[in-house]
Amino acid sequence: MGSDQCFSRLNSLEIKALIYQKIGHQRADTYFDQLGKFLTSRISKSEFDKLCSKTVGRENISLHNRLVRSILKNASVAKSPPPRYPKKSLYGDPVFPPSPRKCRSRKFRDRPSPLGPLGKPQSLTTTNDESMSKAQRLPMEVVSVEDGEEVEQMTGSPSVQSRSPLTAPLGVSFHLKSKARFSTYNGINRETCQSSGELPDMITLRARLEKKLEMEGIKLSMDSANLLNRGLNAYMRRLIEPCLSLASQQKRAVSNVSMLDFHAAMEVNPRVLGEEWPIQLEKICCRASEE
């Protein structure tokens, strides 16, 4: 007897799949549970015979016998376990047939593009322009598509859409060119608190808030702006005073207060920062580490 015949394996996975196909998943799960108990000597042979006949049916006993024989043979002669995912189906045909390379027609680049002349890569059209970018000169790469064809594309070449002017999606405004227009609000200087070193006056604060809320049709009274400004002033004082106190204890000029001093003061009493103090304290820590 040849060596191939001696050490050939029986594909028990195919038999197992056939059992699932014949009797259904629920009955098959019950059968394999019973078979496992029998193989581990948790139930006797007579008990298993009764359960097996009832579960798989007498007409499928032959499948059970094939499975048991395959398990015993593989355990006795095989040197390695079977492949986890067999390459052939139950009917012997390959699961994924090879792509018919010899039957392919001409290359995709030789076919007329449904997008018109703009759909063809720039390197395929005759041009005298010497200012082509490096990305457009890169070699072709082959990418696969769903129908199995090979399409040659330019590596790094911009798509047809990227050659057209950039437009924002429907319902989304695009303000790259409009930053300069909003540098002032009706002649109001947008100097930030960080650059000026102080809170804005009530008129400026009210104008800025009204500009932000005009899309919602909300008006802001002078009393509201005054109340907000007073609240900001009290909040900033509550943050700055511990920092100044800490700097004075180190016998330094108040003007030399650093971000590290502010960080140390906030770590002593972080709840001064408000409800979201863990997030704010982390931001302060990151800012202090940069200095």
pLDDT, tens only, 63-85: 888 888 888 887 777 565 555 55
d(CA 225, CA 229): 6
The answer, yes or no, to whether residue 274 has pLDDT greater than 60, is: yes
| pTM of the model as a whole | 0.32
3-state helix, strand, coil in the chain (%, to 5): 55, 5, 35
Q: Do the beta carbons of residue 92 and residue 22 sit within 8 Å?
A: no
Tokens (6 digits) for 138: 């890169």
State mean pLDDT over 8-19: 81
139 or 74, which is more confident: 74
Tens-digit pLDDT profile for residues 18-62? 888 888 888 889 988 888 888 888 888 888 888 888 888 888 888
CA distances from 269 to 34, 108, 244, 264, 276 (A): 66, 68, 14, 9, 13
Tokens of residue 212, six digits: 């932000």
**Per-residue DSSP letters for 159-179?**
-HHHHSPP-PPTT----GGGT
Per-residue pLDDT of 197-253, as tens digits, reads 677 777 888 888 888 887 778 787 888 888 888 888 888 888 888 888 877 777 665
Q: Is the pLDDT of residue 138 over 80?
A: no
* Res 157: pLDDT: 46
Higher-pLDDT residue of 108 and 15 is: 15
Provide the residue type at 122 as one letter: Q
**Neighbour count for residue 152 (Cβ, 10 Å):** 14
pLDDT greater than 60 at residue 181: no
For residue 180, what pLDDT band results from cuts at 50, 70 and 90? very low
User: Quick check: 273 pLDDT over 80?
Assistant: yes
DSSP codes of every residue in 82-117? PPSS-SB-TTSSBSSPPP-GGG--S-GGGSPPTT-G
Average pLDDT over residues 82-110: 50
pLDDT at 251: 65
Cα→Cα distances 155→116, 147, 151, Å: 21, 21, 12
